[in-house]
């Protein structure tokens, strides 16, 4: 692999979080009996809630009542809160005046919904054609294989080569009357944090009559993004990755496909009129939001959007860039560690870094980081099997990811722990049980075995109650 960076960023011990998150002082047990603050470097999977989000949820919960259906006063309050949250979420991603914002559960939900709305080819009547790259998360690969005609393109080794391949494919298809309806791209890879430049992607797709959907799961929480500003047609993202882990996400974009598409869920709220065997469906977001809406989730997501929008985008970027560069450079300095990247010339990746340690299974590395250092990372193939295969990581890898709540000291802890692993090996013994790496005779309380009170007691006691200190 080519060198990822030549700069040598300084240690980041003193880099503070950009926004406070709940649970930042939570202590976790180590195999040696100590407890240490949890270093959550798995933010790309699910991010902890912002304190502002938790505070908003606490204020809204007492007002909670049925949405859209009740005549009671609090039902009207809840309905207004829900609709206001929808507007805030749309504004946060730069929705155009005529765009719809549909509240969904998460990115997977949003992309499955959109897959049911891609129109058939107006000339051939065949299912609409969708073009994707093999770098995508399964959520942006599999939905297109249902009801639409998906082509998965293997990109080149550089951004420039990949863009050229995309353009050639779009042009060939248009030239043979097989025009793509949609190009679905990631805003940032959940494996490496890299992305193609959006302006070039949009320009290429629109030149050949294709719309662009952005899988914004890893981009929206980390960079300021605007539909109107980029020309992207749809964006999908998840609240639980945007510091609002209460089960809501959004699909925002062009109204026409959504108004004409298959209602995502069949049920109450999505229909204007029903007779036996016949239904007249709503247009607008309601068409795809059958069932009781997740008002608390929507309010939480909107609160997170507001909090992120209030931060200077350069500050967000600089914080993440400092942590990411230190991670990449620090890992690259450790023997036997290989850091993954897709393109040699990718610019401005978000804070996601994937690596392997030769001689250690990724599952063992992750178990060791947790058991001996209190560091939480992700291991496996990250729901991106085609990309991991192409990068030569069929056996999986380890992923560390950061966000607005990550202090630089967490990054330093990870680097020190990986270095110790390579130089001295693990102290505990590990084995595979039911496909998972575990500590042999693990002395820590087993979460499933501790009951509700035991689980809740895991929560932050305050740093001064830690009966141990961090490893050097």
Ligand X SMILES: Cc1ncc(COP(=O)(O)O)c(C=O)c1O
Residues at the contact surface with ligand X, assessed by CB under 6 A: 44-45, 106-108, 137, 139-140, 186, 190, 215, 217-218, 238
Residues sharing a CB contact under 8 Å with residue 360, sequence separation 6 or more, in sequence order: 368, 421
For residue 29, CA distances in Å to 249, 273, 468 come to 33, 56, 10
Minimum Å distance from CB 243 to ligand X?
13
Please tell me what DSSP assigns to residue 265. S
Q: Which is nearer to ligand X, 29 or 155 (CB)?
A: 155
| C-alpha to C-alpha distance for 372 and 359, rounded to whole angstroms | 18
Nearer to ligand X, 45 or 422 (CB): 45
Half-sphere exposure of 361 (CA within 13 A, CB side): 12
In the complex, least distance from residue 105 CB atom to ligand X, rounded to whole angstroms:
7
Report, in Å, the least distance between residue 302 CB and ligand X.
Answer: 17
Given a contact cutoff of 8 angstroms between Cβ atoms, the answer to whether 159 and 199 are in contact is no
SS3 440: coil
Q: Which residue number, 131 or 173, has a Cβ lying nearer to ligand X?
A: 131
**Residue 99's closest CA among 284, 254, 259?**
254
Q: Which is nearer to ligand X, 15 or 214 (CB)?
A: 214
Q: Give the residue with the Cβ less far from ligand X, 304 or 371.
A: 304
DSSP structural state of residue 21: B
d(Cα 302, Cα 83) in Å, to the nearest integer? 10
In whole angstroms, what is the distance from residue 132 CA to residue 108 CA?
15
Smallest separation (angstroms) from ligand X to the CB of 90: 19
Q: How far is the CB of 150 from ligand X (least distance, A)?
A: 16
Active site residues: 383
**Residue with tokens 């080569």, as numbered in its chain:** 161
CA distance 60 to 287: 26
**Residue closest to ligand X (Cβ):** 190
CA distance 133 to 196: 11
Q: Least distance from C-beta 430 to ligand X, angstroms?
A: 26
Q: Whole-angstrom Cα distance, residue 242 to residue 193?
A: 15
| Residues facing residue 101 across a β-bridge | 252
Q: Please, which residue, 218 or 370, has the CB nearer to ligand X?
A: 218
- The pair of structure tokens assigned to 137 is 């998360």
């Amino acid at each position: 692999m080519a060198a990822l960076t030549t700069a040598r960023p300084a240690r980041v011990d003193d880099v503070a979080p950009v926004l406070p998150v709940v649970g930042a002082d939570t202590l976790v047990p180590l195999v040696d009996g100590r407890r240490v603050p949890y270093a959550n470097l798995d933010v790309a999977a699910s991010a902890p809630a912002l304190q502002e989000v938790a505070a908003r949820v606490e204020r809204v919960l007492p007002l909670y009542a049925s949405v859209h259906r009740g005549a009671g006063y609090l039902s009207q309050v809840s309905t207004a809160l829900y609709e206001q949250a929808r507007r805030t979420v749309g504004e946060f991603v730069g929705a155009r005046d005529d765009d719809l914002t549909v509240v969904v559960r998460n990115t997977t939900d949003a992309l499955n919904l959109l897959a049911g709305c891609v129109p058939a080819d107006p000339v051939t009547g065949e299912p609409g054609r969708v073009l994707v790259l093999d770098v995508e998360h399964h959520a942006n690969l599999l939905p297109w294989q249902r009801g639409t005609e998906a082509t998965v393109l293997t990109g080149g080794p550089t951004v420039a080569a990949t863009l050229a391949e995309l353009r050639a494919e779009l042009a060939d298809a248009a030239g043979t009357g097989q025009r793509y309806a949609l190009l679905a791209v990631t805003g940032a890879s959940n494996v490496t944090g890299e992305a193609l430049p959006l302006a070039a992607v949009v320009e290429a797709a629109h030149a050949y009559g294709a719309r662009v959907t952005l899988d914004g799961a890893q981009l929206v929480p980390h960079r300021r993004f605007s539909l109107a500003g980029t020309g992207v047609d749809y964006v999908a993202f998840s609240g639980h990755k945007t510091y609002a882990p209460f089960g809501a996400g959004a699909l925002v974009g062009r109204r026409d496909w959504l108004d004409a598409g298959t209602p995502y869920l069949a049920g109450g709220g999505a229909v204007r009129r029903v007779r036996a065997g016949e239904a007249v469906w709503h247009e607008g977001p309601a068409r795809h939001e059958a069932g009781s809406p997740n008002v608390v989730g929507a309010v939480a997501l909107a609160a997170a959007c507001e909090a992120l929008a209030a931060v200077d985008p350069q500050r967000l970027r600089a914080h993440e860039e400092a942590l990411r560069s230190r991670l990449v450079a620090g890992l690259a300095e450790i023997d036997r560690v290989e850091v993954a990247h897709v393109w040699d010339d990718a610019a401005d990746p978000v804070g996601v870094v994937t690596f392997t340690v030769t001689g250690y299974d990724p599952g063992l590395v992750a178990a060791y980081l947790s058991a001996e250092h209190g560091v939480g990372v992700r291991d496996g193939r990250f729901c991106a099997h085609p990309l991991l295969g192409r990068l030569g990581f069929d056996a999986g890898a380890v992923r560390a990811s950061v966000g607005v709540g990550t202090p630089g000291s967490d990054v330093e802890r990870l680097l020190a722990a990986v270095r110790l692993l390579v130089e001295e090996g693990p102290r505990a013994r590990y084995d595979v049980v039911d496909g998972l790496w575990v500590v042999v005779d693990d002395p820590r309380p087993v979460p499933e075995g501790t009951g509700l009170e035991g689980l809740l007691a895991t929560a932050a006691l305050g740093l001064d109650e830690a009966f141990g200190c961090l490893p050097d």
